[in-house]
A and B are shown apart, each in its own frame.
Chain A
Amino acid sequence: MGLRTFKGGVHPFEGKELSKDRPVEEYLPGKDLVFPVSQHIGAPAKPVVAVGDAVKKGQLIAEAGGFVSANIYSSVSGTVKAIAPHRVATGDMVNSIVIENDGSYEEVAYEESEVGSLSKEAIIEKVKKAGVVGMGGAGFPTHVKLSPKEPDKIDYIIANCAECEPYLTSDYRRMMDNPELLVGGMKIVLQLFDNAKGVLGVENNKPDCIAKLEEICRDEPRIEVVALQTKYPQGGERQLIKAVTGREINSKMLPADAGCIVDNVETLVCIYRAVKEGKPVMHRIFTVTGDAVKEPRNFYVSVGTNYAELLEAAGGLKEGGAEKMISGGPMMGFSMFDLNVPITKTNSSLLCLSKDDVSHLEPSACINCGRCVEACPELLVPSRLAKQADLKLGEEFEKWNGMECIECGSCSFICPARRPLAQSIKTMKKDILAARRKK
């Protein structure tokens, strides 16, 4: 049998060699740390500290602003310096709590638990309290994910260990360095769902991870390691579910509708920390990489750390500098114009490229070659959708299933006419969603 996967997809240059074998180093942040109150999907968190307050590491500084929202904790001790809008990696301005680091890292006490004796409600409560969100980038509050309507119908817990975005190696390092935390997190989630089986889905370009995880899961009857074909976007939620279970979901469905719950590697680690150690989300692994970086590295960073500081910690830029800096991977990441932004729970890397492949490209006429159709993991016709989007033909766009687009960028990547298909489609989707909200 061939490796499990989905239909469509592309094979961009992987670039993971740059940083994958660099050990994770803890980076102690500099003076000011910035905590945006929106680091997740849903309502912004509400600050519970005021300017001038002294805070400890591990102290709640903003509480969830609703059910679909998440708590935010300080990752250092110090003083609240300001609460004001600050730029984040996507380029937006977000209200943020700025904490001046006193360098002592004085920490609150955490409440450890015997996981096996906890009730399901208590586990979910602990995950919620710790402010765990989807750390792979989406930032969906994890306690919401763990509270489906019909928990008995969940039969798959899938750990998204695909890491299909080129260049990123933070999940890879986690799997190599702390597989027990990942599997520990998985076991906690399995404790919530009696009928579920745990699956660790790993792309087969990481055979060392597969071997390691298989080894530590040998005595775990409920957990299985599944090798997936290396193909972008294998780590897309819908694509991963398809590869692992053969089930398909569309934009109107949740993974739970297919009996699945999908969590990223770092998220499961955070769940473990939250439930077992009682620790909130304050750290994550963050990769600084790209051909323009002097010494690409993986860091264990505090949430709130400044991007520019980390670039310096990685030796800064090579001579010749960088034309493009991206928060995240090259397929779905955001290009940045300013590095004075904080790392949030969902940011996994800073990618600095000496050459920008894209901005100078002149799109030419669509030749109808169909490569975008073959590449689209959602089985759409991107060239047609982009044309409808450019002409603002909303009705046609929806008829051709444009709203199903997951914005993976495979169509733009593959287009020989260099047309920015994904960009057009994304814009149209936003317009349609905005119009729907107005109604």
Chain B
Amino acid sequence: MDNMLHVSSSPHVRAKDSTNRIMAYVILALLPTSLFGIFNFGLKALLLIVLTIASCVATEWVFEKIIHKESTISDLSAVVTGLLLALNLPVTLPWWEAVLGGVFAIAIVKMMFGGLGQNFMNPALGARCFLLIAFAADMTNFVTDTYTGATPLAAMRNGEVINNMDALIGRTAGTIGETSAIAILIGAVILILLGVITLAIPASYLITFVVFMLIFGGHGFDMNYIVAQLCSGGIMLGAFFMATDYVTSPITPKGRIVFGICCGILTGLFRCFGANAEGVSFAIILSNIFVPMIEKMTIPRAFGQVKEKKEGK
């Protein structure tokens, strides 16, 4: 017993999942829709994905160099942000705008607020909205060689009936990663099976959205229309991959459901009454802002706790 023994506070063992393993799981779960996006839109899509990821990782590295902090790029969170951002861009976007989006996502939305875990807004969505405002025309240009028509959501707005099968599979116009509901759902199953997310947020989000659309959608109980709404635009990607972003969603179990409802109502509101056919990004980042308030309102009841506070105060 010549060696020194290690002493630390209990527990003395740890579970396997670490932050970068979880991020790797998310990347894995995003692969189906990423691959479909490349298949659907061609190599330009791959180029944008690579560029935004590189831009996000490089920005984080440079930012931390400048402020003399240890580099955190190995936690893979910047890769996830870059990938998510790319999946939210139209394939026609000039490459430098995509790169700029990556810089904005990391430098402004994430690092300025203290880095991983501190940002109040989903960096990828923050950047997407920034690009949407800064380069409105480029960000809404979904015309490619394959798809010359409007996005399904825009078509529906004009009163057209879209082909639900196309929307489900993803053979439609849209951003790189949002078109295929099936590919996104495969990813969602991966996330759930690996224990990365629970159904709390996506389920409450989607159910609320469906209820909202049934009431205010103007198509009554037309199930075709509801399915078309669910499979089109960013709602699937948003519900499973963006609204579930740990950092920017509530940590309390009830809060997650409230947050999902919030996202659902706002998405419905924006899609039915907004200026654009789409509203998922704004719905989620707006809901992100409510998170601290939602958490405060949903402090869980502790085990064995009896209601007593109400009378006291």
Contacts and interface: CB of A to CB of B under 8 A. Distances in A.
Interface in B237-279: 246-247, 249, 251-253, 256
A202 to B, nearest CB: 22
Contacts of A43: none
Contact of A378 (B8, B75, B77, B302): B302
Interface residues of A, number: 69
Interface string B21-37: 11000000000000000
A381 B303 contact: no
A59 interface: no
Given A416-B19, A416-B22, A380 B11 contact: no
A149 to B, nearest CB: 19
B6 A335 contact: yes
Interface string A393-427: 00000011100100001101111111010110010
Contacts of B6: 323-324, 335, 356, 358-359
A401 B308 CA distance: 13
B5 A336 contact: yes
A42 interface: no
Interface in B278-313: 295, 299-306
A59 B37 CA distance: 81
A93 to B, nearest CB: 16
A248 B302 CA distance: 10
A368 B255 CA distance: 13
Given A250-B302, A379-B301, A418-B18, A365 B7 contact: no
B15 to A, nearest CB: 5
A78 to B, nearest CB: 27
Output the residue of A325, A332, A365, A404 with the most chain B CB within 10 A: A365
A89 B238 CA distance: 52
Interface in B3-55: 3-15, 17-19, 21-22
Interface in A339-383: 339, 353, 356-359, 361, 364-371, 373, 377-381, 383
Contacts of A380: 300, 302-303
Contacts of A357: 12-14
B13 A335 contact: no
Contacts of A322: 3, 5
A299 to B, nearest CB: 20
Given A250-B302, A378-B303, A364 B9 contact: no
Nearest to A366: B117
A258 B258 CA distance: 33
A422 B13 contact: no
B116 interface: yes
A374 to B, nearest CB: 8
A10 B247 CA distance: 23
B203 to A, nearest CB: 15
Contacts of B66: none
Given A323-B5, A400-B299, A381 B252 contact: yes
B224 interface: no
B252 A373 contact: yes
B118 A365 contact: yes
Contacts of B7: 91, 324, 335-337, 359
B193 interface: no
Nearest to A258: B304
- The interface residues of chain A, by DSSP majority, are classed as loop
Given A335-B7, A365-B116, A413 B303 contact: no
A334 B10 contact: yes
Nearest to A12: B13
A13 B247 CA distance: 29
A10 B15 contact: yes
B303 A379 contact: yes
A404 B15 CA distance: 23
B252 A253 contact: no
Output the residue of B7, B77, B115 with the most chain A CB within 10 A: B7
A384 interface: yes
A310 interface: no
Contacts of A412: 11, 14
A411 to B, nearest CB: 9
B299 A416 contact: no
Contacts of B5: 322-325, 335-337
Interface in B73-103: 75, 77
Output the residue of A322, A357, A416, A423 with the most chain B CB within 10 A: A416
B116 A367 contact: yes
A166 interface: yes
B163 interface: no
A333 B10 contact: yes
Nearest to B11: A409
A187 interface: no
Nearest to B17: A416
5 contacts: A7-B303, A248-B303, A358-B8, A384-B295, A414-B15
Given A251-B304, A323-B3, A417-B117, 16 more contacts: A250-B302, A334-B10, A335-B6, A335-B9, A337-B5, A353-B12, A359-B6, A359-B8, A364-B72, A370-B253, A370-B256, A373-B253, A381-B300, A404-B305, A417-B18, A422-B9
